[in-house]
Chains A and B, each alone.
Chain A
Amino acid sequence: MATSTYLSNPGVLVNTVSLTDQCTSATVTNTAEALESTAFGGTSRVFVSGLFNQEITLDLYMSYAATETYATLAALVGTTTTVKVSNTVGGLTAPSATEPRFELVGAYLEALPVINATMGELSTISITFKGGVLTTVTA
């Protein structure tokens, strides 16, 4: 039984800007789209790999202060950039087998919630970078 419990370690860079102290959740998904190749005579569905389709989803505290969340992301909507995530902050600069750095180059930011206001709560947003080429760096 192996588990990973994250308390405060992961690190996040968006467009080379560290948003680690604003981030509460990061999910990197490596998807190879399934193309069905089932043919007559088959009794079970069969799939082959299609295009790779990567995604990185981040949950962040929203801040409009200088060089914080909004300033980092506002100009990226509709453009591509590089997003890096590691299970440790150290893995961002010195990755290893146990501290891999996942880099999505050419990641497209389609949408940015510019305000998410609720009485009595810290403002948070969820953003998703789509597409690009995912690389796993371990050295």
Chain B
Amino acid sequence: MIYQIVSPRLGTPGDIYKPEAGVNVEALLLHGFIVEDKAPPKSAKTKPTEKG
């Protein structure tokens, strides 16, 4: 999971937040310090199937 900083109390807003071991991430999410980074996933590259 990737998180983005919202509150300047954690760092620069907009930067990626990498939680350290032992940090309560749920508490940060609950009170809006960080948000989940919902960047659209890369589309899967699939080969076209040939129809005979």
Contact = CB atoms under 8 A, between A and B. Distances in A.
A82 B9 CA distance: 15
A16 B27 contact: no
Nearest to A132: B22
B48 interface: no
Interface size class of A (residues with CB under 8 A): 10 to 19
A67 interface: yes
B32 to A, nearest CB: 6
Interface centre among B9, B19, B24 (most CB of A within 10 A): B9
B42 interface: no
Interface in A51-104: 66-67, 71-72, 74-76, 79-82
Interface in B1-52: 6-7, 9-10, 19-24, 26-28, 30-33
A131 interface: no
Contacts of A71: 31-33
Interface string A10-53: 00000111110000000000000000000000000000000000
Contacts of A66: 7, 31-32
12 contacts: A15-B27, A17-B33, A18-B10, A66-B32, A67-B7, A67-B33, A72-B33, A76-B24, A80-B22, A81-B22, A81-B23, A82-B22
Interface of A: 15-19, 66-67, 71-72, 74-76, 79-82, 105-106
8 closest A-B pairs by beta carbon, nearest first, are A75-B27, A71-B31, A67-B7, A82-B22, A105-B22, A81-B24, A18-B9, A17-B9
